[in-house]
Structure 1
Amino acid sequence: MQSEVLEWSAGFTAFCSRFAHRFSRVESRRRMVAYVRGLLAEVERKNGWTLAEAAGDTGPEGMQRLLNFYTWDCDGLRNDVRDVVVEAVGDEQTGVVIVDETGFLKKGTRSAGVARQYSGTAGRIENSQIGVFLAYASDRGRALIDRELYLPKSWTEDRDRCRDAGIDDSIEFATKPELAQSMIDRALDAGIPFGWVTADEAYGQAGQLRMWLESRGVNHVLAVPKSQMVVSMKLQRRRAHAVISEVDASAWQRLSCGDGAHGPRVYDWAVVDIRPLREAGRGHWLLARRSITDPEQIAYYICYGPADAPLTELVRVAGSRWSIEECFQTAKNETGLDHYQVRGYTAWYRHITLSMAAAAFLTILRRDAQKGDLHLVPVSRFL
């Protein structure tokens, strides 16, 4: 066991050294290492005070300087985290990029982007910040690779309020799908290996995002509401639920879209060709997922990809969307994604990125354990 702990400790040191060039001063580099180590520690809340205590400090000032005052390249660190994840679990055949958002409940009105808005975390309208994230998933593992803070118009239309929160005048309003597009664009420019993009209804119903993905030749399976208008093979505009309601009973196939906490997630699936005006070698489909226990429960997806893509591949991609939920759960429960106590725009990005880095380290450990290179023991044993 001692040799495993030593191996893990050496692995952590090597992992953090990947980011050292993003920090111009020794003190800020040391603070980064202590911060990430604290995020991996088994403490209930991972805020400035508890992270400082884990580092042996008498107060949170050092950790606060890392988030608020030291000069370092946060976006560069984000790119490094993405590269580390791809090195660990990247796979051109099974790689999927997933878009989703998560809420961070907050009190007051001064934290950057905070507003009364719908939070999926709470399942209702709450005072919260909303982060839009990109995850990468393959058969080898999954992790968060990009992030953007959503700023409601109530913020971007009040430049004094923005300046007080450290939001530069150049930062303008962007919808959540536009934030998603910018992150997917970065992933494409970085050349990360993936075959598909998937997302829930909030992004799937954004026609501009779907058209942009097509223009970049990006295969996608995007959830849409049942009222979504699609173009049938008879060149008629019809709602998704109306098209699927006419599918023959024999067209439904019972398939698993991946394993969940309680085993395979099995549903009935059907797929229909749509949009007859298409480029050679490409296909457009309307995919439907029907609950086995409640056939009235049907989810819908608009799909675009190679013309010969089989139903099983579309189902696999649709099912991979749950991977980002698992990423959120891991990052919130194990690396303090939502434990921050910061108000500034820059500080939000810095904490979130460092939390993503810590979660990426866990992804590497789990990959190595699956390969048999390591045995899983509590991370705190080597921190």
Structure 2
Amino acid sequence: MFDQVMARIAGRFRRVEPRAAARSYLLGLLSGVERKNCWQLAEQAGHTRPGPMQRLLRCARWDADAVRDDLRAYAAEHLGTDGGVLVVDETGFLKKGRSSAGVQRQYTGTAGRIENAQVGVFLALATSRGRALIDRRLYLPEHSWSTDPERRNTAGIPETVQFATKPRLAEEMIEAALDAGIGASWVTGDEAYGQDPQLRAALEARGIGYVMAVACSMRVRINHGRTSVRADTVAGRLPATAWQRRSAGNGAKGPRYYDWAWIRIGTGNHRHLLIRRNRSTGELAFYLCWSLTEVPASELVRVAGVRWSIEECFQAAKSQVGLDHYQVRHWTSWHRHITLAMLALAFLTALAADAARERPADAHQLARSSDPITLTVPEIRHLLAALFNPPAVTPTRPLHWSNWRRRHQATARRSHYRRRTASEPTG
């Protein structure tokens, strides 16, 4: 299956050298290397220097967006479209300095606070067979980057790339996925995307349903009323009989049960406000829902529960295939590393999906069986790391790399000291 993945993307590389480097890079991402940056991936591949990996990300001639298209089609083929949901969300990449494309002090959920970071907006495909990241956009802050030509040029940001809000980036990715034939019936996302009326209107225009989280302050019209009411006010007026206990899907510890209520809003029959209540704390969450045809409340609850699958994708991508291990600053390099990491994760997800096909579907049969659980993404990567492990090497190679790293680090330290000394005022 790995050879099939490489055959799928081989035509995106004009020369054999970057094609071979891409294969080594992907194998390195699937390996047990502690930090999946160019240095360690080059050492893993048996190179004497990181040059081939760095050239692959920076200046080799290949189209990361075309590989992204291959990845998207590959994920759809292996995950199918059964109950397909497109999930949009963002994740942060903590950075030092101010030279990396798109970096600035901004809030990121990765740290849970304002930090110096890059932010990527991602699209995931979630079906009954699994989930995978299928598209990505690097968010470019408006004031610190969009209006600074010199900074943009240094980071390699194309002139055609202009400021776009995160919902606009999400809309671009969703439109591209639908145009490519991804057979998803729903879109879901958190408040940052649910609060955007233009994104919701674009989805309705495409005839794709959505279950989008919104703030408690969102105002809705109920009972065909002319005045709007806050969502939390609506929830406070509901009788006890309006709440139903339903599962939002299985988690690590079993079904995730919440209390749910739904209310028709607007003037049509296909708009709803869905409200989730935590059974222990009473905390409320709100979702605006729209569908082309009338659907039961259970379907809206299912889609709302799928939203968390993209968080699982981020966790797996960062812990298993080094999504956030890169040490690059250039716009092109970021997109290339992220795309290859997404492809590595999609490969693992496809293996897990294919392995699950051979398992019995009856949960009771599984409970009575002494068989282990189906293969997971972390377990598959662990097995592949053993299978793809390079042969034993003499002490010469690790000693060579140790010397190379320390010489490089010494050069970097001298440069930092020289820059720091030059900036200090003289007596």
Match of 1:191?
A: 181
Query: Match for 2:114 among 125, 128, 139?
Result: 125
Deviations 1:249-300 (A, max 9, x none): 1010000010111211110000000011x4xxx60000000000012x0000
Deviation, structure 1 residue 381: 2.3
In 1, Cα distance between equivalents of 2:293 and 2:9: 41
Match of 1:251?
A: 242
Match of 1:318?
A: 304
Deviation, structure 1 residue 308: 2.2
In 2, Cα distance between equivalents of 1:372 and 1:31: 34
In 1, Cα distance between equivalents of 2:202 and 2:72: 23
Between stretches 57-66 and 366-375, larger displacement belongs to 366-375
In 1, Cα distance between equivalents of 2:313 and 2:80: 16
Match of 1:3?
A: none
2:33–2:40: 8 Å Cα contact kept in structure 1?
Answer: yes
Are residue 272 (structure 1) and residue 263 (structure 2) matched?
yes
Match of 2:278?
A: 291
Amino acid corresponding to residue 174 of structure 1 in structure 2:
A
In 2, Cα distance between equivalents of 1:169 and 1:307: 42
Amino acid corresponding to residue 382 of structure 1 in structure 2:
L
Match of 2:325?
A: 339
1:133–1:144: 8 Å Cα contact kept in structure 2?
Answer: yes
SS where residue 291 of structure 2 aligns?
A: strand
- For these two proteins, the number of residue pairs brought into alignment is 367
2:208–2:292: 8 Å Cα contact kept in structure 1?
Answer: no
Are residue 70 (structure 1) and residue 60 (structure 2) matched?
yes
Give TM-score scaled by structure 2 length.
0.84
Are residue 26 (structure 1) and residue 16 (structure 2) matched?
yes
Match of 1:4?
A: none
Deviation, structure 1 residue 247: 1.5
Amino acid corresponding to residue 379 of structure 1 in structure 2:
L
In 2, Cα distance between equivalents of 1:286 and 1:46: 44
Deviation, structure 1 residue 306: 3.7
In 1, Cα distance between equivalents of 2:263 and 2:29: 46
1:235–1:275: 8 Å Cα contact kept in structure 2?
Answer: no
Match of 2:386?
A: 381
Are residue 61 (structure 1) and residue 41 (structure 2) matched?
no
SS where residue 280 of structure 2 aligns?
A: coil
Match of 1:36?
A: 26
SS where residue 170 of structure 1 aligns?
A: coil
Deviations 1:84-125 (A, max 9, x none): 00000022x400000000000000000000000001000000
Match of 1:366?
A: 352
In 1, Cα distance between equivalents of 2:147 and 2:233: 41
Deviation, structure 1 residue 372: 3.0
Task: Show structure 2 runs of 5+ residues with no match.
Answer: 360-373, 389-427
Match of 1:349?
A: 335
Amino acid corresponding to residue 108 of structure 2 in structure 1:
S
Mapping of residues 18-167 of structure 1, within 5 Å: 18-91=8-81, 93-153=82-142, 154-167=144-157
In 2, Cα distance between equivalents of 1:166 and 1:231: 47
SS where residue 42 of structure 1 aligns?
A: coil
In 1, Cα distance between equivalents of 2:355 and 2:343: 19
Match of 2:410?
A: none
In 1, Cα distance between equivalents of 2:114 and 2:130: 33
Amino acid corresponding to residue 344 of structure 1 in structure 2:
H
SS where residue 267 of structure 1 aligns?
A: strand
Amino acid corresponding to residue 259 of structure 1 in structure 2:
N
Deviation, structure 1 residue 307: 4.1
Amino acid corresponding to residue 381 of structure 1 in structure 2:
A
In 2, Cα distance between equivalents of 1:340 and 1:288: 39
2:207–2:292: 8 Å Cα contact kept in structure 1?
Answer: no
Structure having the higher helix fraction is 2
Amino acid corresponding to residue 380 of structure 1 in structure 2:
A
SS where residue 3 of structure 2 aligns?
A: helix
Amino acid corresponding to residue 262 of structure 1 in structure 2:
K
In 2, Cα distance between equivalents of 1:190 and 1:90: 14
In 2, Cα distance between equivalents of 1:307 and 1:144: 28
Match of 1:239?
A: 230
In 1, Cα distance between equivalents of 2:292 and 2:244: 21
Deviation, structure 1 residue 382: 2.2
Deviation, structure 1 residue 207: 1.2
Amino acid corresponding to residue 21 of structure 1 in structure 2:
G
Are residue 205 (structure 1) and residue 192 (structure 2) matched?
no
In 2, Cα distance between equivalents of 1:59 and 1:347: 18
Between stretches 109-118 and 187-196, larger displacement belongs to 187-196
Amino acid corresponding to residue 76 of structure 2 in structure 1:
V
Match of 1:221?
A: 211
SS where residue 176 of structure 2 aligns?
A: helix
Deviation, structure 1 residue 211: 1.4
Between stretches 350-359 and 230-239, larger displacement belongs to 230-239
Are residue 305 (structure 1) and residue 291 (structure 2) matched?
yes
Are residue 330 (structure 1) and residue 316 (structure 2) matched?
yes
